[in-house]
Amino acid sequence: MCAAPGGKTTAIAILMKDKGEVVALDRSHNKVMDILKLAAEMDLNCIKAYKIDALKSVRKINEETNLGMEDNPNEAAETMAEDSDPCHAAHATIGATATDAGEDSSTTTIVQSDEQKPDSKRYVSKAELRKNLRRMKNGPGRNNYSGGRVEKSKGFLPNSFDRVLLDAPCSALGLRPRLFAGEETLESLKNHATYQRRMFDQAVKLVRPGGVILYSTCTINPGENEALHPKVGGPGIVGSWERSNKTYTEEWLTEQEAELVQRFDPSSSVDTIGFFIAKFEVGQKEG
């Protein structure tokens, strides 16, 4: 889950000696293409990559009559997203000039649309205009070459996988260039944790009883690590944290639980970036 750019995916495939099946999921078309490109460069054939939001990775049983692991082949090829189509970018900027796209402007402008009628017009925000101009400047991008399409998945049945690696999107506070960047707030850190917990719920549903979930982040924030209650590194952080106005509380780990996870922290004697790993063995599920 959240597999791009594919380093962990290909590492797993190599450890499996390119046998079995590794399913890599990401919600970005371009990132799925990156995974497939990396797998091809490394001559790995056991990797299948799909475009899907990790929050929607569990297929609802009543969605379709055909509940196989793979989607209908007729629906597998995805039409390129409009926001990644260089042709759309070119059409959207007809009649506009570069001077209209000031970085601080938030007004709208009227530009010629790509309709057949020459007098047809539509409103385009300055933000979209700036985005389109950047696309034109940077070239067509990787989606414009032959075969630049990815398979779009509608999700997988519960208990479909032996193991799941959730490499969760996070605040990245363990990466040295961002340690003191000041880009995160207490509220944004809390929002990361909420998002990660929802992904973890999907992972639990995907793994069969007796299977394994591996959860990892590249942040040192306990709210995104120990607070989810999920020996090379040190033990996890024990205790809890409460906001001064007592509107929010994070429960971290007990002394016993702290020994079950691995925390890699730049403040330790080991010269490393900050990241976190927790391994869960899935027991019998209710219902």
pLDDT tens digits, 171-205: 888 887 655 556 677 788 888 888 999 999 999 99
Walk along the chain (287 residues) and give the pLDDT tens digit of each residue: 999 999 999 999 999 999 999 999 999 999 999 999 999 999 999 999 999 999 999 998 765 445 444 444 334 333 333 333 333 333 332 322 333 333 333 333 333 334 444 445 667 777 777 777 766 655 444 444 334 678 999 899 999 999 999 999 998 888 876 555 566 777 888 888 889 999 999 999 999 999 999 999 998 888 898 888 644 455 677 878 887 787 878 888 888 888 878 787 777 777 788 889 998 998 888 76
Q: Based on the number of CB atoms within 10 Å of its own CB, is 2 exposed (0-12), middle (13-18) or buried (19 or more)?
A: buried
206 CB contacts (<8 Å, ≥6 apart)? 57, 58, 156, 158, 159, 160, 161, 164
Radius of gyration of the chain (CA): 22
Query: What pLDDT was estimated at residue 259?
Result: 80
170 in catalytic set = no
Q: How far is CA 34 from CA 23, 146, 166, in A?
A: 14, 15, 18
- In this structure, what are the phi and psi dihedrals at residue 72, rounded to the nearest 5 degrees? -55, 125
Name the 3-class secondary structure at 117. coil
Query: What pLDDT was estimated at residue 235?
Result: 64
Question: How many C-beta neighbours within 10 Å does residue 40 have?
Answer: 11
Q: How far is CA 72 from CA 46, 68, 158, 159, in A?
A: 20, 9, 18, 20
Q: Based on the number of CB atoms within 10 Å of its own CB, is 190 exposed (0-12), middle (13-18) or buried (19 or more)?
A: middle
CA of residue 128 relative to chain centroid, distance: 23
For 61-100, give one letter per residue: b (16+ CB within 10 A) or e: eeeeeeeeeebeeeeeeeebeeebbbebbeebbeebeeeb
Domain residue ranges of the chain, discontinuous segments joined by + = 1-59+147-156, 160-241+249-286
Provide the whole-model pTM: 0.61
CATH class of residue range 160-241+249-286: alpha beta
What's the CA gap between 62 and 224, in Å, rounded? 33
Q: Based on the number of CB atoms within 10 Å of its own CB, is 129 exposed (0-12), middle (13-18) or buried (19 or more)?
A: buried
Query: What pLDDT was estimated at residue 238?
Result: 80
The β-bridge partners of 214 are 165, 279
What's the CA gap between 150 and 164, in Å, rounded? 21
203 CB contacts (<8 Å, ≥6 apart)? 1, 164, 166, 213, 215
Which positions make up the binding site for S-adenosyl-L-methionine? 2-8, 26, 53, 167
